[in-house]
Amino acid sequence: MKTYKPNSQRFVISSFFFITFLCIIASINQIRFDSFFKFSKCAFSETNITHTENFFDINSSTLSTSNDEIRILIGILTLPDQYQKRHFLRLIYGTQSPIIVGAKIDVKFVFCNLTKEDQKVLVALEIMRYHDIIILNCQENMNKGKTYTYFSSLPEMFSTSNYYPPYHYVMKADDDTYIRLENFVQSLRPLPREDLYYGYVIPCPSMDPFVHYMSGMGYLVSWDIVEWIKRSDIPKTHLEGPEDKVFGEWLRDGHRARHRYNAKWSMYNYPEPPTRCTHELWPDTIAVHLLKNQQKWINTLNYFNVTKGLQPSKLYHIP
């Protein structure tokens, strides 16, 4: 027995040191793994944050929302063939701040049924990429019911929304109108969310929103009025005529919109050529209308310094 005792002791001692060594290695690896895991988790979170902040894609429905936020749908009425105009407007609205605290804004392009083979391909690709198009079941028109079809179709389109109402406010806007989203939202915050009619009062000298109607450049109503348009017989029997004027007549005949907000002169026509409806560009602007050519758009965008967020990079040089 004495002959084997030293070997047994050496074996026990060696085993102890070997096990201790393995524990140390395991601890180091665990620390490295935990650090790597935490770093990876942090990096992944930062990637998601960056993606969320940079991705607006016009359609802000990808952003988180709560039932307390102001939910706004802006429907820009346009034509199926206006591909270049839609891409341009995606730049305009997509580069405005994607996160306006307390608000969720969806901007959609609205037109009637497709009539050409190329539209069926190109518009389908737009929908797949941007998810920002509404195709109404109507024949394309300006003043023969397109606006009615737009508003009356919305309750069914958004009947499965996670919220009620799906939008507190719905706007109809022209595609030659530039809307400054943050100022727009700020103007809505103190206003009622029921029986509201908002816009630029016509005729141009008028400041009384209860006498006439709001300009077609861009007017907004609360969701309860959208639902009323769908179920009421008043709009159905009065479809033809200047769409903004006809819309105002619906509300008058239906005794709706007891709350009205005249956004003049934060909404106005482009200053050139000067008329009774124009106004100089100024910081409190909500919307500018009649941007009928690229130079008017560029002048407007330059005035509001829309490229101030451009970051320096070695990839480009813009003086």
pLDDT tens track for 257-310:
999 999 999 999 999 999 999 999 999 999 999 999 999 999 999 999 999 989
Lowest mean pLDDT among 8-12, 35-39, 176-180, 267-271: 35-39
Average pLDDT of the residues in 82-92: 97
For all residues of the chain together, what is the average pLDDT? 86
Report the percentage of the chain scoring pLDDT > 90.
76
Exposed/middle/buried for 267, CB within 10 Å: 0-12, 13-18, 19+? buried
Q: Domains for the chain: give ranges and CATH numbers.
A: 70-265 (3.90.550.50)
Task: Give the pLDDT of residue 109.
Answer: 98
| pLDDT at 29 > cutoff 70 | no
pLDDT of residue 257: 98
b/e map 184-208, b = 16+ CB within 10 Å: bbebbeebeeebbbbbbbbeeeeee
What per-residue confidence (pLDDT) applies to 1?
A: 45
Amino acid code (one letter) for 66: S
Residue 100: its pLDDT value, please?
87
Q: What is the tens place of the pLDDT at every residue in 216-260?
A: 999 999 999 999 999 999 999 999 999 999 999 999 999 999 999
pLDDT band at 68 (very low <50, low <70, confident <90, very high): confident
Residue 52's pLDDT is 29
User: Model pTM?
Assistant: 0.80
State pLDDT tens for residues 109-150: 999 999 999 999 999 999 999 999 999 999 999 899 999 999
| Cα–Cα separations (whole angstroms), residue 27 to 20, 30, 31, 37, 266 | 11, 5, 6, 15, 65
Confidence of residue 66 (pLDDT cuts 50, 70, 90): low
Instruction: Evaluate if residue 31 carries a pLDDT over 50.
Output: no
Least confident residue range of 42-56, 151-165, 200-214, 221-235: 42-56
Of 29-33, 155-159, 280-284, 300-304, the one with minimum mean pLDDT is: 29-33
Residue with tokens 């490229």: 307
Residue 62 has pLDDT above 90, yes or no: no
What's the pLDDT score for residue 98? Answer: 62
Helix (H, G, I), strand (E, B) or coil at 80: coil
Q: Please say if the pLDDT value at position 101 is more than 50.
A: yes
Name residues whose C-beta falls within 8 Å of residue 196's C-beta, 6 or more positions apart in sequence. 169, 220, 221, 222, 225, 257, 259, 260, 261
Average pLDDT over residues 32-52: 36
